Structure formats: structure tokens, C-alpha cells
Chain A
């Protein structure tokens, strides 16, 4: 029984063991699972920590990068700013930027240099403080640009810089920010001083060209009239000369009348000569001249009539070259200029006369395209007088234009001077300043010829040669024939070139000299001359004319004609020419 009980107890214990083992295993399993889960959790946590660490690191890197980027972008900004300034400074255009309050924010180098200031002196300063002389229009313009947002282009402004007055063409553009709000004004200035000056220079040249063209046409008109007048005067004076040779046969009343006619015609002739000089058609008898001697002779005479208040100072170049010209005409030029200088100084003053050898460049001759650059003699006559007003300057060389009182000036002085100088292939210019004085300067081409002593002989030289007179005008032919016959010459007459050739051929052995008019219908003097030289290359010819067309007269003279006689001529003039020519 005990054994049974023991057995039962053992069984119960075995069952309990079995049950506890199972419970233990389940619990252990649960525990293991929990532990596993816990460990997983911990490792997950540490992984999360690692991730966190990595995130933190990358965040730090990111922060560092961002900081670097920020620094870099600051650097970039600075660099861009520098770059912008370099670009702006490289521009020759004057660039500025002002804010709405007229304060300079930025300018470029060209701008600063132009005004001779430093950047720092300009920026942050108001324009009205920097440029107090700027015009109210300028300020108004800028206000309008800021107000309307419309640019103003090509605004021409005169500005005063340390280099003097300058001209700017400025484009003023509104400065807008990215939202389109106008925050100031940007300006682009172009220095147009040079082109402005060129423009003014061109205008001056244009004016001068116009002036010389005007003078040219007036001259042509005056010359035409004077030529006809001259022919008429030649007849009047010629016949009065003839009459005078016979005065012994006339009663005293008639003698007086003839003298009056002769004197008047001489005066008229002088006037037409002046006109013709201006028209460059005057008598032209070029010889080599010493300007210095000519000035001394002329001015010393005039000096005597000057009042004591006027002093003349000479500054003459001893080595002055000779000029080729008509002595009387050049004397006229000097006289005219000296008298004008004196007249400009009613209260007295100083006249300075200066001669120089100069080289004239092509540039100086811009206005005178027909003149050649080269060696010239320069003559300037300065006064310390009243100066010439602007409105007068333009008309100064016009004939019959005078500022002198009626009866004192003819208005032909400077016109004649101009004509003569131009006639001598020279040019004239003047500088004047109101209240300070005027300087007239003339340039005449210098010559290599040596100056001969002029022989002034008023005697009439008689002759006995046979002269062929060729002139289309009957009265002149007749007059000339009578004058020459009076001098002892035998005279043949031809009314034109063709007749002249016929007569010359028939009387070749008899004719010693041909007196040839230049201006003739059908065949002119030049052509006739050439035909005559074909027949006899040794032929002696003197040219005679009321005026000279430069080219033709020069041409014929160059080709061998012996001289040139200007109508109207006096007896002694023609007698001298004839005797000179026949002597050769």
C-alpha cells in the first residue's frame, strides 16, 4: 500500500516535473524572444544613433558648405563689382549713375579723368555741389527722366573742366531696379568737343569759302564793267593826250578844258584800275620785288603824314626772299593796310610790320585749293586799335563796304588788297580782338629771281620801227596808230587775228614788232600769237589788253612774248615798252 502511495507520489511528481519543464521552456522561449527583441532594439537604437551621427556630420558639412558658398558668393559679388568697375573704366564713354537725390553712386574712370577728379571725390556727392555752374535745364532734364522714366538722348551740355570748356553729348537713361522702380539716373557722356570744334571750323571754312565765292562774283561783275569803262577811258584819255600835244595851237581856254578832261579821265582810270585789281584783272607787270625795301620806301612816306601818336615798328626779316609781283599793286596793298591800321587807332597806338619767310602747308591752304603749298613770304601788319566787330568781319573784303565816314573811304581798299593778293597767287587773313587790335597777314609765293633796280624814267622814247597793231576795236586802233606815229613809228593796222596773219605774211621783212590785243573775237590774241610764231619763231610780240585772263597772259608770256602793256596806257609807258622790246 505504501508502495502504491509512493508510486502515485512519484507519478504526480513526474507529471509536475513534466508540466514545470514545459512551463519553463515556454517561459525561457518567451524570455529569449524578449531578449532577442531587446537586443534588436538596442542595436537598432545604436544604428539609429549612427545614422544620427552621420546626419549630424552631413549637416555640419552642409553648414560648412553653405558658409563656404556664402563666402564665395560674397567674393563673387565683390569680384563682379570689380569686374563691373573694370568694364566701366575701360569705356571711353563717360558713365555715371546718380540716385534720385542727385547723388553720384558710381562713375567710371573716363568720367573722373574728364573732370580731373578722383572717384572718391565724386561718389556720394551731389551733382549740384560738384558742378555748381551746371544749367537749370540740365537739372530739369534729369528730373523729367526720373519722373517719366523716358530716356533723354543726345543732350548737348557745355561743361567747365580743368582742361577748359568742353562739350558733352549725354544720354540720360532712367535707372530701374528689378521691379521696374526708378531709383536714379544713368548717364553716358560722349566728349564731342573735338567734333564741335571741327564743326565750328568747318562752318568758318564754309563761310570763308562762301565769302571768297561772293567776292569772286562781285569781282567778275566789277571787272566786266571796269573793262568796258577802261576802253572808253582809254579813248578819252588818249585823245586828250593827243590834244595836249597840240596845246600850243589851242587857245588857253581850250587848253584848260583838255587838261580837265585828261585829269578826270586819269582819276577815272585810277578808279577802274582799283576795281580791276580787285577783280584780278588789273594791269599786271610782274617783276621780282624786295618786300622789305618796298615797305620801307612806302611806309616811311606815309609815316610822315601820321600824327605823332602812332608809332611804327618794323620787324623785317633781313633774309627775306623776293616775290614776283606788280610793284604798284604791292605798294597799294601795303599802303592800304597801313592806312587801315592807322585809321583803327584814332587815339594813337603801335603799328607793327613784320616780314618772314615761311613754309605754307597744304592744310593752311584748305580754303584756297588752287594755291600750291611751299615757300611763301609772310607780311603782317598789326595795330593796337579798336578791332573788327563780328558782323563786319564777314563783309570786310567786299567792294564798296566801308566803316569809315563818307568821303574818307571808298570801300575799295581791302577789296583791292584782297584782289591784288589773290591775283598774285597769295592769300590774306586777319586776327582781331575787340579793343585790342587787328593783325592782317598776307602770304605771297616767294621767288628765286633777284631784284633788279627799277628804272624810273618818265621820258618818252621815240623810235622808227614798223609796228603791226592788232586790235578789234576801231577807236583803240586809230588811237594807237596816232600815238605811235607821233613817237616816230610806222604803223600797220589789223582788225583781227586773220588780217594780222595776212598782213604779217605780206610785210614780213618790214614788220619789226607786233602789238597784239589779247581779247578778240574769232581768233584771240593767244591763238594769233601762236600762228604768228609758226610763221616766224623769232617774231617780237608785245601783249596789250584791258585785262588779263591769268592763264592766257601767263601762257603767252611764257611762250616768248616780250611784255605786257595794260590798257589804258600812257605815251611814256608804251614808248618804254616798245623801246625795251625792240632793243632785244
Chain B
């Protein structure tokens, strides 16, 4: 199956059901004139998402003393940023829901990885680049969606890919390319281009395994996802596909952007703490 056929299949499948919410929240993120009311309208159009959101808003993670009854209230009480992230993560979660263990891979574990990478990426952007980091959160959340697509539409190939990964101890994307001719970053890029996701996000996702091959305006974002992915995989937060990454690329990246290794460790400990809280709050229970 070539990549175009695959994109068509994706767009005719349930996966495309997240498209509208995701794209519209991204629009809110990137439009300085957008308001909390826009976000509220996007969420309220999707009653299951709204219900999930209200449930989580009232969880211990946010520790709000009163019961939150409405999305509008949630935005006020737990924050605009938090609701945006919660909405995105819960919507994206819908495509990771099937629980089927293949070796150490499960979709839920992959999703936890994605949430961690999203948080990590945002923190790098904020702490090291003094940026708001919201687009990096989106990119982190979506960076491995290509794997889910392979899982769903190229299951036979996916199983062999996973077998080879455990045997050959190589990063998944390299094996994907050998098995099906393109890797999950290519798939993500093709799908998100058809969804009109902003270039900034698409490029960060599509180049997250090889951030430094091209030096342009997207290099920094790709490096952020790359670093976040690397540290999450290395520390086994969720399922990691990039456990065998060359450490040299990591150091090149840190050096290129003047980031100290210790800074990553500080962020990592925050992310791990956050993930743990989320696990306790039932965040990953689907």
C-alpha cells in the first residue's frame, strides 16, 4: 500500500474523527484574537469529549475545591491552557483506545508516551526558548500517530516490524522504512498535510527522528520533539519507539541550542512527577 492509499484509508476511518477538534484547537492556539469562548464552543460540540473533560477537571490533579459543572467554568477554574491541553489529549486519546498487547507495545502505553513527550516538549520550549510551547505540546501529542496508523491498517507488517525491533535493537522508524517503504513520520506528515495542520507542527513531527539533517526554521522545533522523545524513551515513560537513538545526535542538539543536559533532567523529573499524578488521577484509564 502506498502512502497516498494509506492516507485515504485513514481519512475514511475513525482516526479522522479527531481531525476537526484538533485542527480547531490548534487554530485557537495560533490566533491571538481567539478567546476562551471559541474553545468552549469547540469542546461543547463534542458531548463525549465534554463529559470526559468535566470528569477530569474535577479530578485530584487540579484539586479544585468545588464541583465544575460546565466547560466555561472549567476554563475559568483550571485555566485556559489546561483545558486546551486536556481537550487535545483526550481527543487524541480516542485513537489509542484499543488495548492489545504486542510484545511490550500497547496503544495505551504509546499514548502515555505521547502525553509525556507533549508535556516535555512544551517545557523545553518554555524553559529553554522562552516560548509559550503550545504548538510543541500539540506536536508532541501527535508525533507518533503514524505508528497507530501502521498498527491499524498494516497490521501484518506492523507485527513483523515489532519482531524485528526486538531482535535487531534498532529504532522502529528505520525498520518501518525497510518493511513498508516509509516510516511513521512520513505517514504523519502525509495525514496532517491533508488535515491542514500548520506547517510548524507537521515539520516538527516529520523530522523528529532526524532533526539536524536540515538546518532551517523547523530545525529547532524538530529538535525539541526529538529531545523530548529521547528522554521519555530512555526513561521508559510509556512505550518508547526510539530507545536505540544515537546519543551523538542528542548531544549535537543540546550543544547546538546551548541546552545543558542537567536542564533536561530537571524537566524529566517534573514530567515523571506529572505523569505519576495523572496515572493516579485515572488519566490513562481511557
- A interface residue numbers (CB < 8 A to B): 11-12, 15-16, 18-19, 22-23, 25-26, 30
Give chain B nearest CB distance to A582 CB in angstroms.
153
Determine chain A's interface SS by DSSP, over half rule.
helix
A23 and B126 contact, CB distance less than 8 A: yes
- 4 further A-B pairs in the complex, CB-CB below 8 A; given A15-B263, A16-B266, A26-B130: A15-B260, A19-B128, A19-B266, A22-B127
User: With an 8 A cutoff between CB atoms, is B262 at the interface?
Assistant: yes
Separation of A348 and B113 alpha carbons in the complex (Å) = 157
Separation of A26 and B81 alpha carbons in the complex (Å) = 12
A15 and B266 contact, CB distance less than 8 A: yes
The A-B contact count (CB < 8 A) is 29
Query: What residues of chain A lie closer than 8 Å to B81, measured between beta carbons?
Result: 30
A15 and B126 contact, CB distance less than 8 A: no
Separation of A11 and B262 alpha carbons in the complex (Å) = 8
Query: What residues of chain A lie closer than 8 Å to B262, measured between beta carbons?
Result: 11-12, 15
Interface residues of B in 91-145 (CB under 8 A from A): 126-128, 130-132
Give chain B nearest CB distance to A12 CB in angstroms.
6
For A27, give the chain B residue with the smallest CB separation.
Answer: B126
A26 and B132 contact, CB distance less than 8 A: yes
Separation of A16 and B127 alpha carbons in the complex (Å) = 9
A18 and B127 contact, CB distance less than 8 A: yes
Give chain A nearest CB distance to B158 CB in angstroms.
38
A22 and B266 contact, CB distance less than 8 A: no
Bitwise interface map of B from 258 to 273 toward A, beta carbon under 8 Å scored 1, else 0: 0010110011000000
Partner of B266, one of A12, A25, A26, A30: A12
- Pull 15 A–B residue pairs with CB atoms less than 8 Å apart, ordered by A: A11-B262, A15-B262, A15-B263, A18-B127, A19-B127, A19-B266, A22-B126, A22-B127, A22-B128, A22-B130, A23-B127, A25-B130, A26-B126, A26-B131, A30-B81
Please give me the 6 A-B residue pairs with the lowest Cβ-Cβ distance, nearest first.
A19-B127, A15-B263, A22-B127, A22-B130, A15-B262, A26-B126
Separation of A512 and B281 alpha carbons in the complex (Å) = 181
Give chain B nearest CB distance to A33 CB in angstroms.
9
For A26, give the chain B residue with the smallest CB separation.
Answer: B126
Separation of A442 and B202 alpha carbons in the complex (Å) = 141
Separation of A19 and B266 alpha carbons in the complex (Å) = 9
Give chain A nearest CB distance to B178 CB in angstroms.
40
Query: What residues of chain B lie closer than 8 Å to A12, measured between beta carbons?
Result: 262, 266
Give chain B nearest CB distance to A22 CB in angstroms.
5
Separation of A23 and B81 alpha carbons in the complex (Å) = 14
Give chain B nearest CB distance to A41 CB in angstroms.
10
Give chain B nearest CB distance to A564 CB in angstroms.
139
Separation of A158 and B127 alpha carbons in the complex (Å) = 116
Separation of A26 and B266 alpha carbons in the complex (Å) = 18
**Most-contacted residue by chain B among A11, A12, A15, A23 (CB, 10 A):** A15
For B33, give the chain A residue with the smallest CB separation.
Answer: A37
Separation of A367 and B180 alpha carbons in the complex (Å) = 143
Query: What residues of chain A lie closer than 8 Å to B260, measured between beta carbons?
Result: 11, 15
Query: What residues of chain B lie closer than 8 Å to A30, measured between beta carbons?
Result: 81, 132
Give chain B nearest CB distance to A316 CB in angstroms.
127
Give chain A nearest CB distance to B57 CB in angstroms.
20
Give chain B nearest CB distance to A9 CB in angstroms.
11
Query: What residues of chain B lie closer than 8 Å to A16, measured between beta carbons?
Result: 266
Give chain B nearest CB distance to A450 CB in angstroms.
135
Query: What residues of chain A lie closer than 8 Å to B263, measured between beta carbons?
Result: 15, 18-19
For A15, give the chain B residue with the smallest CB separation.
Answer: B263
Query: What residues of chain A lie closer than 8 Å to B128, measured between beta carbons?
Result: 19, 22
Give chain A nearest CB distance to B159 CB in angstroms.
42
Separation of A12 and B267 alpha carbons in the complex (Å) = 12
Give chain A nearest CB distance to B199 CB in angstroms.
23
For B133, give the chain A residue with the smallest CB separation.
Answer: A26
Separation of A19 and B269 alpha carbons in the complex (Å) = 13
Query: What residues of chain A lie closer than 8 Å to B266, measured between beta carbons?
Result: 12, 15-16, 19
Bitwise interface map of B from 66 to 106 toward A, beta carbon under 8 Å scored 1, else 0: 00000000000000010000000000000000000000000
Separation of A135 and B266 alpha carbons in the complex (Å) = 122
For B35, give the chain A residue with the smallest CB separation.
Answer: A37
For B81, give the chain A residue with the smallest CB separation.
Answer: A30
Separation of A25 and B128 alpha carbons in the complex (Å) = 12
Separation of A23 and B127 alpha carbons in the complex (Å) = 6
Give chain B nearest CB distance to A179 CB in angstroms.
55
Give chain A nearest CB distance to B35 CB in angstroms.
8
For B263, give the chain A residue with the smallest CB separation.
Answer: A15
Query: What residues of chain B lie closer than 8 Å to A15, measured between beta carbons?
Result: 260, 262-263, 266
